[in-house]
Amino acid sequence: MTMQAVAEEAGVGKATLFRRFGDRNGLLLVLLGEAETRFRTAYTAGPPPLGPGAPAAARLTAFGNALIDRTAADSDLGIALGRQLPLEIRCTSDTGKDFHRHVSSLLRESGADGDCDMLAYALLGFMSVEVLDFLRQEGAVPAARLQATWEDLVQRLARP
């Protein structure tokens, strides 16, 4: 996706896009933020186990499984846009910060030992688009195996 193509589709000049969004990454971040709103609502206010009301470990498992499903779904706009952004921008975006806060909070709530902030980064590293795409495409790892691995990681970190 180029800024020129977006400008033509929107019926505006390319300069208008640059004034509004700064650069391509700025535009992608706005689109990504809109695409992530539905997912954020699901894990912050939706029904359990993804949303509140389930034990922290069950919510964390559901969160990871949902991310794996979204990454495997080529039609997911949030993931498609995320693939276009550099890692440092994804990590410092509102969505990246929300994911980290959510995972570290669930780790704390589950009674995980250790530095929950750093453990959250480690878990989210496994869930990065690049890692999941590589494992699925180059390693031919099915989504069910990725989800089983995520669940194993959560169970090893969370206290009963």
**In this structure, what token pair is assigned to residue 10?**
């929107």
In angstroms, the CA 4 to CA 117 distance is 40
Q: What is the pLDDT along the chain (160 residues), one digit of tens a residue?
A: 666 666 666 677 767 767 777 776 677 667 766 667 888 999 999 999 999 999 999 999 999 999 998 887 755 565 666 677 777 777 787 788 999 999 999 999 999 999 999 999 999 999 888 888 889 888 899 999 999 999 999 999 998 6
In angstroms, the CA 89 to CA 105 distance is 22
Longest dimension (CA), the chain: 57
Domain ranges in the chain are 3-157
Contact 92, 49 (CB under 8 A): no
Task: Report the pLDDT value the prediction gives residue 66, as an integer from 0 to 100.
Answer: 94
CATH code for the structural domain at 3-157: 1.10.357.10
In angstroms, the CA 76 to CA 8 distance is 23
pTM of the model: 0.77
Written as one letter, the residue type at 71 is: T
